[in-house]
Amino acid sequence: MKLLSEIEPEVKVGIKKIDGGLEVKGYLEELGISEGTELTVVATEPVHMHVGPISLKSAGGEAVVARGWADKVYVDKEGETLPLLRLETGEEGMVKTIEGGKVFEDWLSGLGVEKGKVIEFLRHLPDDTLVFKIDDREVSMGEGQASKVMVEREGKNIQINYLAEGEHAKISKVLGGTSLKGKFEQMGVAEGKEITMVRKEMPAPVPKRGTYVLAKIGEQLVTIGHGLAEKVWVE
């Protein structure tokens, strides 16, 4: 077996083992990668900050989209169809296709990302940890995970990423399947609960690792950071 990070372009491989525990496996599953998945390495490219969640702008306002979700969105940019994550800061594209089924499309639609709409790639978000308080208990989650929790504020639904420090709101919806909702419920994050943004914790800066892997699963292109590609064994 070899690590995914070692595979040359144009080579098709099968995923045999994933190191790193449930969190790593869960993150890769969002990209469509799990043990048994077959993929073709398209290219190994220099680091391009296409890691972590992103901020987008559409007619409905700004939204945070987790990297695993953004990987399933294709846009039309000047006649070329490409994954959303290939856009640069400030570039626009019209949403052309969304891979992942009707329910997934509905979740994204609630964030203003839907077929036919023009969206602007605003920026990559820092890899902050958001700390919230629910029932006198502090819970932590990353920007991407937090982007899947909607709260009601002044009669409008927003993502909890947009709460200010010390601000309270009521959880109105969790955007995700049964597994994600179960994970959130274990943390105390459930619809109807009151939640307070406590603080943001910025991680210590780490040097960027040299490359990321661009791979194809069926017709779906995904980008896999160097650190994750080093945890995936293929054959």
Distance (Å, whole) CA 117 – CA 124:
20
Centre a 10 Å sphere on the Cβ of residue 106 and count the other Cβ atoms it contains.
Answer: 11
Q: What does the DSSP 8-state code read for residue 191?
A: T
pLDDT at residue 203 in the model: 67
| Token representation of residue 178 | 């049964």
132 and 190 Cβ atoms separated by less than 8 Å: no
The SS3 call for residue 115 is: coil
Give residue 214's pLDDT.
Answer: 82
Residue 219 corresponds to which tokens in the numbers above? 């017709």
User: What is the structure's pLDDT at 95?
Assistant: 95
Q: Which residue matches tokens 């945890």? A: 231
Judge if pTM exceeds 0.85.
no
Q: What is the pLDDT of residues 58-88, one digit of tens each?
A: 887 899 998 888 888 999 999 888 888 888 8
Residue 209 has pLDDT above 70, yes or no: no
> Nearest-CA neighbor of 70 among 33, 100, 40?
100
pLDDT in tens, 18-71: 998 887 888 788 788 999 999 999 887 664 445 678 899 988 789 999 888 888
Q: Burial level of 62, CB count in 10 A (0-12/13-18/19+)?
A: middle
Cβ 188 vs Cβ 40: under 8 Å? no
Q: Which parts of 125-166 are beta strand (E)? A: 129-134, 137-142, 149-153, 156-159
Contact (CB, 8 A) for 161 and 142: no
Q: Which helix (H) or strand (E) holds 196?
A: strand 194-201
Domains and CATH numbers, the chain: 2-47+208-234 (2.30.30.90), 54-124 (no CATH), 129-201 (no CATH)
